[in-house]
Structure 1
Amino acid sequence: MTKRNAHLESYIRSSRSHFEDLLSQMVETPSISSDPDRVKDINRMATLGMQSLKSFGAQARLVKTGGYPAVSGGWQVGKQYPTLTIYNHLDVQPAQEPEWRQEPFQFCKEGNRYRGRGTTDDKGPALTALFAARYAVEQGVPLNIRFLWELEEEIGSPNFQDALDQKTLVPRPDSVLISDTIWVSRQRPAVPTGLRGLLAAQLTLRTGTTDVHSGLTGGGARNPLAELCEAVHACVDAQTGRVKIPGFYDHVVPPSPRDMKEFLSSGFEVARFKKAYGLRSIRTEDRANLVKRIWAAPTFEVHGLVGGYSGPGVKTAVPPCGRLKISMRLVPNQQPQKIFSQLQAFIKKHNPDIHVECDEQLEPFQGITSGPYAEALRKAVHVGFSITPSFVREGGSIGAVKLMERAWKVPILFMGLSLPEHGYHAPNEFFDWAQASGGIRAFVEYFSQIAHMRDG
Structure 2
Amino acid sequence: MLYERLDSYVRDSREEFEDKLAEMIEVPTISMEPDRAGDMRRGAELARQYLESIGARAEVVETPGNPVVFGRIEAGANYPTLTIYNHLDVQPADPSEWHKDPFTFFKENGRYEGRGTTDDKGPALSAMMAARYAAQNGVPLNINFIWELEEEIGSPNFEHFIKNNLDRLSTDSILVSDTIWISRSRPAIPYGLRGAMMLTMTLETGAKDVHSGLTGGVARNPIGELCKVISECYDAETGRVKIKGFYDDVVRATRQEVQSFLDSGFTPQKFKKAHELKKLRFDDPERVLKAIMAEPTFEVHGIAGGYQGPNVKTIVPHRAEAKISCRLVPDQEPKKVFRLIRDFVREKNPDIKCEFLGALEPYIGEFTGKYADAASRAMKYAFGRQPAFTREGGSIGAVVTMKNHLRSPIIFLGLSLPEHGYHAKNENFDWGMASGGIKMFVRYFDEISRLSE
Indicate the TM-score class for this superposition, using the shorter chain for normalisation: over 0.9
Tell me if 1:435 matches 2:433: yes
- Whichever residue aligns with residue 361 of structure 1, its letter is A
Q: Partner residue of 1:104?
A: 102
1:348-387 correspondence runs (5 A):
348-387=346-385
User: Which has the larger displacement, 121-130 or 311-320?
Assistant: 311-320
Q: Partner residue of 1:48?
A: 46
Distance between the aligned counterparts of 1:236 and 1:32, measured in 2?
33
Q: Partner residue of 1:176?
A: 174
- Whichever residue aligns with residue 241 of structure 1, its letter is G
1:253-292 correspondence runs (5 A):
253-292=251-290
Contact in 1 for aligned 2:90/2:119 (Cα 8 Å)? yes
Contact in 2 for aligned 1:64/1:70 (Cα 8 Å)? yes
Residue 444 of structure 1 and its aligned partner are, at CA, apart by: 0.2
- Whichever residue aligns with residue 355 of structure 1, its letter is K
Q: Over aligned residues, Cα RMSD in angstroms?
A: 1.0
Q: Partner residue of 2:242?
A: 244
The alignment partner of 1:88 has SS state of strand
Structure 1 counterpart of 2:138, from 129, 137, 140: 140
Distance between the aligned counterparts of 1:446 and 1:421, measured in 2?
25
Q: Partner residue of 1:70?
A: 68
Q: Partner residue of 1:163?
A: 161
- Whichever residue aligns with residue 183 of structure 1, its letter is W
Distance between the aligned counterparts of 1:326 and 1:391, measured in 2?
30
The alignment partner of 2:337 has SS state of helix
Distance between the aligned counterparts of 1:359 and 1:454, measured in 2?
44
Q: Partner residue of 1:8?
A: 6
Contact in 2 for aligned 1:295/1:394 (Cα 8 Å)? yes
Please list the CA deviations of residues 2-23 of structure 1 after superposition, one character each: whole Å capped at 9, or x if unmatched. Answer: x643411111111111111110
The alignment partner of 1:17 has SS state of helix
Distance between the aligned counterparts of 1:218 and 1:79, measured in 2?
76
Q: Partner residue of 1:119?
A: 117
Tell me if 1:445 matches 2:439: no
Contact in 2 for aligned 1:198/1:363 (Cα 8 Å)? yes
The alignment partner of 2:452 has SS state of helix
Give the number of equivalent residue pairs: 453
Q: Partner residue of 1:194?
A: 192
Tell me if 1:61 matches 2:59: yes
Distance between the aligned counterparts of 2:339 and 2:436, measured in 1?
45
Q: Partner residue of 1:422?
A: 420
> CA 1:214–1:97 in 2, change beyond 3 Å: closer, same or farther?
farther
Structure 1 counterpart of 2:217, from 216, 219, 222: 219
Please list the CA deviations of residues 261-292 of structure 1 after superposition, one character each: whole Å capped at 9, or x if unmatched. Answer: 10111111111001111111111110111101
Contact in 2 for aligned 1:163/1:170 (Cα 8 Å)? no
Moved over 4 A (4+): none
Please list the CA deviations of residues 287-339 of structure 1 after superposition, one character each: whole Å capped at 9, or x if unmatched. Answer: 11110101000001110011111111111111111110011000010000110
Contact in 1 for aligned 2:139/2:445 (Cα 8 Å)? yes
Tell me if 1:389 matches 2:387: yes
- Whichever residue aligns with residue 39 of structure 1, its letter is A
Q: Specify every segment of 5 or more residues in structure 1 that has no aligned partner in the other structure, as ranges.
A: none
Distance between the aligned counterparts of 2:66 and 2:219, measured in 1?
45
TM-score (norm: length of structure 1): 0.98
Residue 166 of structure 1 and its aligned partner are, at CA, apart by: 2.2
